[in-house]
Structure 1
C-alpha cells in the first residue's frame, strides 16, 4: 500500500502597520481578537480551523479530498498592529522552524501567511520565513505560500516558493478555495515532479484603501483582468496583491504574479499585462474620499430622521481607526461628534482596558462617569467623558459560523463591558483590538445593531459582510488615525524612490 504524502503547514499571520504606536510583542501574542488562541500548535491548529472558512480550513478539506496527511506545526495570528519585535520572530519563528526540522521529512510545505509582516530585523518577515523554510527543506521539496489580498508581495517570497496563492476577494470570502488552489498545485508538483514557471511584476503604484473593495470598480477591473489571464493557454495560476499601504517597506504597492506551465516569458507577459492595465488606471485606483467626521455624523442623523422604520442603521465606517489594518481601536473622533450633535441611538465599540477596570470595580448595574478612548496615542482623538449605567460584563468571546471577512470564526474581545450612556450612545468597551467583522460581537452582548439608528464599524471593507445585509446605508468616513486613507499624512522613508501617488510623476517601464 503506498505511503500517504505528508504535507506540513505553518504560519505567522500578521499585518504590520509601521506607523502604529502599539508595537507587536510577545505579550501581544498572548491574546488575539482574531482567534481564541493567538498561537496554535499541532492538533489545536487543526481543531481551531476545521469548522472555519480560513486558509487552514481549506488545507484540511484538501487533505480529506486528496487523502494526504496534513501535519499542522504552528500557526500564530494576532491583531494587526505596529512593528513586530525581534523576540517574536526569534521565538515563534524559531519554534516553527524547529518543528519543521524535528517532524520532517515532508513531501511539501504550505506556509500560511498574511503577507505584510514587518519585524524590527526583517522588513520582509514573510520572505525571510520562506527563505529559512527553503533552507531547511532544500530545493526539491515543493513550497507554496497562501497570502491575504493585502500582502506586500516581495521578490524574496516569489523566489523562495514554488507558488504564491493570494485571495481574490475583498471582503475576503475566498480563503478556502484559494487554499484548495495551493494544494492542487503542490500535489501536481509532487506527483509529476514538475514546477511552474513564474513571474512577479511590481508596478510602482499603491491602491488606495477606499478602492480596495473588489466587488466594485475600479478594483473589480483589476480582478477581472486577473480572471482573463487565468484563461490564457498555458497559464496555471496567478494572483494580484493589492498591497498594504501602511507598511513603510520597499515592497509596498500592487503586485501582479503569474504561473505558466513551462515558460517564464509567458508568465512575464501575463503578469505585465495585468500590471500595465492597472497602471493606466492608477489615478482612479487611488482616490481619498469620504466625508469628515462632523459631516458624516450630521448626514447620518439627517438620514436617521427620514429613513423608514426598521430599515436598518446608517453604518459609519471609521477609516482612520481601521482595526483590521493595525489601528488602535480607541479613536474618539466620531464619538465626540455624536455627543456634540446630540446623537442618541448610537452603537459602537471602543478599546479601553483602563475604563473597563473602573467599570469592574463599580459593578454591573451601577452608574459610572468615566473617560473612554483616545488613550493609545495622540493620533486618535482625546478621551471622551460619559456617564451611564453598566449593563453587561462579558468575557468577550463570540463565534460566527456565517460569512466573515477572511473566514475567521472564533473571536475574543477580552473582558467586555457595555455602558448605556445618559448622553445617548451605547458603548461596548473591549480589551483587545477585535475587529468589527461580525454582528455576533453585539448579539453575544444582548444588543442588536438592527435596532439602532447609527452603528460605527472600525474598518473599511472587512465589516461589510456583517453589516451590509442590515444597513440602510454604509458611509466611509475620512477620519484621521494610523490607518488614514490619505497617504500624504504619513512620512514614508523606505518605500521605492518613485511610487505613485507619493510621487505623482512616477514612471512605470515594463519590457
Structure 2
C-alpha cells in the first residue's frame, strides 16, 4: 500500500495589504520531498506523524511539497498555481497510490480561487479517480465549501485554539484513512452551517467542555469524527462562517443528525462565547490597577497570524503616553529597525524609528530613544504543537522603561521564550503585551496573573458585526441576533 502526502498552507486575510507571493512560500522552510524529515514546525507536523505511522504499517511513502507562508493578504495566482502543479506532477509521477493525505489550512484564497484547498483536492481527485482515499487535515480557522466535501473522503480539523493538537488530529486522520483504504469503513461527511462569525477559545468554558465532549463521542464509536470549523472572519469569500462537521460510517442521515445536534449545542452557548476586547487604554488601566503579578494582554489587532503586519504602534504609543514602566511588548516586525540596532550593537543608546511601515493597518511610526540590550542573528521561539518558530535576526531594546522585542521574520508570539530567549525576563514585568490572538495562551497562562484581550482601532477589525464584507452577503450572528 502506498501513501502520497503533501502540505500547502497559508491563511488569507483578504483585507490585508500584504501580498502573499512566491517568496512567502519558498523562503519559509520549503521542501520538495523531505519536509517530514526536518525538525517540527507548523507546516510539517502532520507529515511527520503520517510518515511514522505509514512506515509502522509497512506502507511506502511518497512525499511532495511542504510549503507554508505566514498569514497575509491574497495569494498571488501564479504562486498558488505553480505550487499546486508541483504537487499534482509529483502525484502523477508517484504512480498508483491507495491514500492521499494533505495538510492544508482551509482559508487560503488566491486571485481567481476563493478556496484553494477545494481546488487542489478537486484536481487530486481527477488524477487518482474515485477509489483512492483522500484525507485532509485543516486548521480550525477554515472555510468549508461543497467542492471539498464532494471530493474528499475525510476532513479532520484541529479541535484546539491554540492549536496544540495538530499531531493528534493527524493521527486520527491517518487511522481513518487506513481503515477506509482497507474497506473497513465507508465514511460520509456532513456539514451543518451555524451562521456565526466569531473567535472561540477552547481552553476556557464553555468551549473546553464542548471539545471534551466531541472527543468522548468519537471514542464511543458512535461517530467516526467530529470537527468544529470556526471559520476565518477576515476572509471575504461567499462561504465564510462557522460549520459543524460530522463523519459517519456509511450513514448519511446519522452524519447529518450529529452535525446538526452539535451545531445546536454551539448555538446555545453563543452568548457565553461572545468576545470582549479592551481598548488599549482599558488594558493599561487594568494593568496599572492590578495589585501585583504579571498581566498578559494580547494585542489581537496586530496579530501576524491573522494577516496583520505586526508592526502596529497603537498599543505601544499609548503605553509610552501613559508612562507605563516595567513592561514588555513584542514581537514587532521591523527588519530595517533590526538592521540599525545590530549595526549599533549591544549597549548602544540610539534614536530609532519603529513600526508603522506597512500602511493604514500599521498606524504611524514611533520615533524613540532606545537602549540596545541584546541582539541575535537567528532568534527562535517555541511554536505550536511542539514546533519551532523562526524570527530571524532579532533584538531586545528598551524605551522609557518598556522592553521591546523586534524581529526580521513576521511572526506572532507563541511562547514566553520569544522574550526570555533574548534575555528579557517577564516575572518582573507588571504588563506584557503580545502581538497574538490566542496561540500565546498555552505558554503564557502559567506565568500570568490575568490574561486580557485588546484591540486597537487600526489593524484587524475585532467587531465581528462590522467587518466590511463585500462578497459574503449572508446574515450571521452577532450582526443579526437570529439569522
For Structure 1 versus Structure 2, the TM-score category normalised by the shorter chain is: over 0.9
Shift of 1:331: 1.5
Shift of 1:342: 1.1
Aligned match of 1:60: 51
Aligned match of 2:10: 14
Whole-angstrom CA distance in 2 between matches of 1:74 and 1:128: 16
Contact kept in structure 2, 1:288 and 1:486, CA below 8 Å? no
Aligned match of 1:123: 114
Shift of 1:95: 1.1
**Stretches of structure 2 lacking an aligned partner (at least 5 in a row):** none
Aligned match of 1:492: 469
Aligned-pair Cα RMSD in Å: 2.2
Aligned match of 1:273: 261
Shift of 1:164: 0.4
**SS state at 1:442 partner:** helix
Question: 1:335 and 1:72, CA in 2 relative to 1: closer, same or farther beyond 3 A?
Answer: same
Match of 2:151 among 152, 155, 160: 160
Whole-angstrom CA distance in 1 between matches of 2:319 and 2:356: 15
Q: Is the aligned partner of 1:47 residue 2:28?
A: no
Q: Is the aligned partner of 1:415 residue 2:393?
A: yes
Aligned match of 1:445: 422
Whole-angstrom CA distance in 2 between matches of 1:221 and 1:161: 29
- Please identify, of 371-380 and 468-477, the stretch whose mean Cα deviation from structure 2 is larger: 371-380
The C-alpha deviation readout for 1:35-66, integer Å capped at 9, x for no partner, is xx1x1221244323399993223223322442
Aligned match of 2:250: 262
Shift of 1:486: 0.8
Whole-angstrom CA distance in 2 between matches of 1:391 and 1:478: 29
Match of 1:240 among 214, 219, 228: 228
Whole-angstrom CA distance in 1 between matches of 2:339 and 2:466: 34
Aligned match of 2:375: 393
Shift of 1:227: 4.1
Shift of 1:117: 0.7
Aligned match of 1:509: none
Whole-angstrom CA distance in 2 between matches of 1:283 and 1:473: 22
Contact kept in structure 1, 2:43 and 2:103, CA below 8 Å? no
Q: Is the aligned partner of 1:346 residue 2:327?
A: yes
Shift of 1:300: 0.9
Contact kept in structure 2, 1:436 and 1:457, CA below 8 Å? yes
Whole-angstrom CA distance in 1 between matches of 2:428 and 2:32: 41
Count of equivalent residues: 482
**SS state at 2:31 partner:** strand
Shift of 1:425: 1.1
TM-score, normalization: structure 2? 0.93
Shift of 1:358: 2.7
Q: Is the aligned partner of 1:327 residue 2:308?
A: yes
Aligned match of 2:479: 502
Match of 2:178 among 167, 180, 187: 187
Contact kept in structure 1, 2:36 and 2:45, CA below 8 Å? no
Whole-angstrom CA distance in 1 between matches of 2:162 and 2:454: 18
The C-alpha deviation readout for 1:97-153, integer Å capped at 9, x for no partner, is 111111232110001011111111111111111111111111110000001111122
Shift of 1:221: 5.1
Shift of 1:234: 4.5
The C-alpha deviation readout for 1:13-37, integer Å capped at 9, x for no partner, is 11111111111111222444xxxx1
Whole-angstrom CA distance in 1 between matches of 2:52 and 2:36: 14
Shift of 1:393: 2.2
**Stretches of structure 1 lacking an aligned partner (at least 5 in a row):** 507-511
The C-alpha deviation readout for 1:239-285, integer Å capped at 9, x for no partner, is 11111111111221111111112211111111111123323443444
Shift of 1:188: 0.9
Whole-angstrom CA distance in 2 between matches of 1:28 and 1:489: 30
Aligned match of 1:336: 317
Question: 1:412 and 1:95, CA in 2 relative to 1: closer, same or farther beyond 3 A?
Answer: same
Contact kept in structure 1, 2:12 and 2:72, CA below 8 Å? yes
Question: 1:15 and 1:290, CA in 2 relative to 1: closer, same or farther beyond 3 A?
Answer: same
Aligned match of 2:289: 302
Which structure exhibits the higher relative contact order, with contacts defined as CA atoms closer than 8 Å and separated by 6 or more residues? Answer: 1
Shift of 1:369: 0.6
Question: 1:279 and 1:299, CA in 2 relative to 1: closer, same or farther beyond 3 A?
Answer: closer
Question: 1:397 and 1:104, CA in 2 relative to 1: closer, same or farther beyond 3 A?
Answer: farther
Question: 1:11 and 1:275, CA in 2 relative to 1: closer, same or farther beyond 3 A?
Answer: same
Aligned match of 2:412: 435
